[in-house]
Structure 1
Amino acid sequence: MRIATFNINGMNARLPALLQWLEEEQPDVACLQELKTPHEKFPELAIEAAGYGAIWHGQKSWNGVAILQRGAKPQELKVGLPGDEEDLQSRYIEALVDGVVVACLYLPNGNPAPGPKFDYKLKWMERLIIRGQELIDSGVPAVLAGDFNVMPHDIDVYKPERWLTDALFRPESREAFHRLVAQGWTDSVRAMHPDEVIYTFWDYFRNAFGRNAGIRIDHLLLSPSLAPSLRGAGVHTNVRAREKPSDHAPTWIELDWKGA
């Protein structure tokens, strides 16, 4: 079972690139972030023609998350991260896919920090920690996949000294991420590549991709019942090298999981 997460940075702008990647790699599950399109404008027919069923939570111009399943439609479990009924931003969706609870998330950026946006980020992370604990306590096989907008370790960022005041690297953000992982989640990419420099995002400016001046902010966290099935993990860096790409590259894992 292959699961991938991909911040596409605009569904309409990147649809051809998304369809090309789906045809080439054929992940069993694809979690998408930053759709940047209203719910009713999601290109469901094009996704179906590519062989995927989809559930999604859209929002005009901003945010937006989706889960695609090859050959079937995911069974929707939750839309929106629990804990704040007044939070209307489209950042979280959950589905059941072949016996695995798949949570697709787009965690807030939080800049500028300090400030209201950073406060919102930290509160959102606290809600995610609560949901993460619920999933751990349930014992179900689960994956938290998406753009976490957090670089957990110094190795996850090119020249970390330049990011010390950024919301993605501030101690508060990293501490909250580590508390989430400490519940029993496995950072799959780091588990497979403990000492390797791996990035998932490169800015469009200053030839960041050409210099490999990136950061690792797209993660797939596995619950204790799912982690033993992990067989591979990596980043489809070649997708970032194409014309008019997203500033993220798809991040993937392979599981020895037959479904249930």
Structure 2
Amino acid sequence: MTLLEVSDLRAGYGDLQILNGIDLSVNDGEYVTIIGPNGAGKSTLMDSIFGLTDHKGGTVSYDGEDITGLDTEECIRRGMNYVPQDDSIFPTLSVMENLKMGAYTESELSDEKLQDIYSRFPILEERTAQVAETMSGGQRQMLAIGRALISEPDLLILDEPSSGLAPHLVDELFDKIDEINADGTAILIVEQNAEEILNRADRGYLLTEGKMQREEGAEAMLADEEIRQEFLAG
């Protein structure tokens, strides 16, 4: 079943149009990545799905319903959540306070949900009272993802989750994302480590200059010599 469908999406910021007729889909439980050069519009696309850009045409549908331009809170209520690039946490709040913020569409953060997050990210239970800005980059990213999972999304959207992380932390983070997907949550991810993420994803899209150029199975993209030379460092 198609969970997310983007059709002929045109969007940008103010008078600047960055996306020029984007088509994209994510099926229930699927793991999909978007690759492309810096400045291609990947982050703008992620923002646009979540209603954070200026809409200039086209549609975004989720679970068969048009959600084009809906605000962030309503997107979360519909069953999706988004971790944008670069420290999408509340830096002056503790780990626990950040996680409670993830339950803002509900009356409270249940013990069951909290324990589920701690089972995925044990470091967060160890650092419950720690102020978020004093944590390492990898721990902050785990906190951001953990907070997003509080709403139990069917689709988790991630923009460059390994950005700024030490190399030895990247595989650990990707393994956590794999586990989230294996448990049934669909993943849509933009990631600078394109080869690594294609090794984990089901399908990939190639985005350049605000337009989708390719859509193929991840294995096919990895085997494509042109893609390897241009986007996977040979």
Question: What TM-score comes out, normalization by structure 2 length?
Answer: 0.37
Higher RCO (Cα < 8 Å, 6 or more apart): 2
Question: What TM-score comes out, normalization by structure 1 length?
Answer: 0.34
